[in-house]
Amino acid sequence: MKKYLGIDIGGTFTKTGILDENGAIISFAKGDTPKSGGIEAEIALIGEILEILDISTDDIESIGVGVPGPVDRSGMVHSPPNLKGWGEVDFAKFLSEFLEFPKYKIVVGNDANLAALAEYRFGNGARADPMVLITLGTGVGGAVIINGEPMMGKDGFAAELGHILIEPDGPRCGCGRRGCAEALISHKGIVRIAWDILKKDKGSVMWEMIGSNFDELTPLTVQQAADIGDPAANKVLKITTRHLAILLADLINIFNPERIVIGGGISRWGEALLGPARKEAKRQALKHLAKNVKIVRAKFYQRAGVIGAATAAMKI
Ligand SMILES: [Zn+2]
């Protein structure tokens, strides 16, 4: 059976896995992404992790690498915001030299595009085409698969779905604009909304759950409180549902997708969020587009990046 190496470089962890051609993870290991030292430190870490995996590159068909930032069509990485000191870099070249592995057998891609490939090929995307992935986590990201490939745009940077506008007068987004999906349906966005509501509701069970400490407030607090019927938490859930529904309706109208897959930590709220958001999105979207779209939860979470990177490697 052929083996593929997937490397998922994240802002916090670097994860690696060996996959077989059916997408099954044979082995997996991870380490802390270096906070300094740039590419050289990252390459050294990958060397250490690969030793843990105990596999020779002679046994690997090809390698896929996901990075949390823009990657252009030629595979050049452009200054990932969470990887200090990277700048503009041909990462495949560095890795090829270090591992003494042919460069043409290494593919580097944007992590969201690769996660979408993983869902499309082996996950809940189920090879639906077009398929849209949105991830609701620290940020809001996404990718669009069309004809089996991530939609790249002219330069390779397309599908910044987290910056679709939801509320023109909403909170400031990291991109400088107000009211993007990322400013509202991300971890931070939901906490901000929850805090505003919580301040006006001293009777909410969430106060007890967080020990009156703002730093303890997370989307999970809101989810758990909503599950037991807390009115303040249910208000947050309702607002988040509305924001998500607008995003989904826009995605339906633009891409006419066969499936929309929703991943990231926030999607673990499950049907309490997805159920009403799905219904409202279909109500808002144009009828002929809304008719056949399926909106489902992702299959892969912590290992989506590794599976996606190896999936991209299988296509070389
Ligand atoms: Zn934005």
Cα(271)–Cα(265) distance, integer angstroms: 14
Q: How far is the CA of 139 from the centre of ligand 1 (A)?
A: 10
The verdict on residue 72 lying in a domain is: yes
Cα(292)–Cα(273) distance, integer angstroms: 20
Q: What is the pLDDT, as a whole number, of residue 55?
A: 85
Segments forming the whole domain that contains residue 90: 3-117+303-314
Cα(188)–Cα(217) distance, integer angstroms: 10
Q: How far is the CA of 163 from the centre of ligand 1 (A)?
A: 4
Q: Tell me the helices (H) and strands (E) count for the chain, helix number first.
A: 11, 12
The verdict on residue 158 lying in a domain is: yes
Cα torsion at 169, 170, 173, 177 (round to 10°)? -10
CATH code for the domain of 284: 3.30.420.40
Q: How far is the CA of 26 from the centre of ligand 1 (A)?
A: 38
Cα(237)–Cα(249) distance, integer angstroms: 18
Q: How far is the CA of 166 from the centre of ligand 1 (A)?
A: 10
The verdict on residue 226 lying in a domain is: yes
Look at residue 136 and tell me whether its pLDDT is greater than 90: yes
Look at residue 316 and tell me whether its pLDDT is greater than 90: no
Average pLDDT, the chain: 96
Alpha helices in 54-186 (DSSP H): 91-99, 111-122, 181-184
Instruction: Indicate if 107 and 22 belong to the same structural domain.
Output: yes
Instruction: Indicate if 25 and 107 belong to the same structural domain.
Output: yes
Instruction: Indicate if 242 and 160 belong to the same structural domain.
Output: yes
Instruction: Indicate if 157 and 64 belong to the same structural domain.
Output: no
Instruction: Indicate if 110 and 133 belong to the same structural domain.
Output: no
Look at residue 54 and tell me whether its pLDDT is greater than 90: no
Q: How far is the CA of 195 from the centre of ligand 1 (A)?
A: 21
* Sign (positive or negative) of CA dihedral 131, 15, 70, 219: positive
Q: What is the pLDDT, as a whole number, of residue 31?
A: 96
Cβ burial, residue 90 (10 Å; 0-12/13-18/19+): middle
Q: What is the pLDDT, as a whole number, of residue 179?
A: 98
Q: Tell me the pLDDT tens digit for each residue of 77-91.
A: 999 988 988 999 999
The predicted model scores a pTM of 0.94
Q: How far is the CA of 20 from the centre of ligand 1 (A)?
A: 37
SS3 assignment, position 66: strand
Instruction: Indicate if 290 and 307 belong to the same structural domain.
Output: no
The verdict on residue 64 lying in a domain is: yes
Q: Tell me the pLDDT tens digit for each residue of 246-300.
A: 999 999 999 999 999 999 999 999 999 999 999 999 999 999 999 999 999 999 9
Look at residue 20 and tell me whether its pLDDT is greater than 90: yes
Q: Which residue has the tokens 């994860």?
A: 15
Instruction: Indicate if 218 and 307 belong to the same structural domain.
Output: no
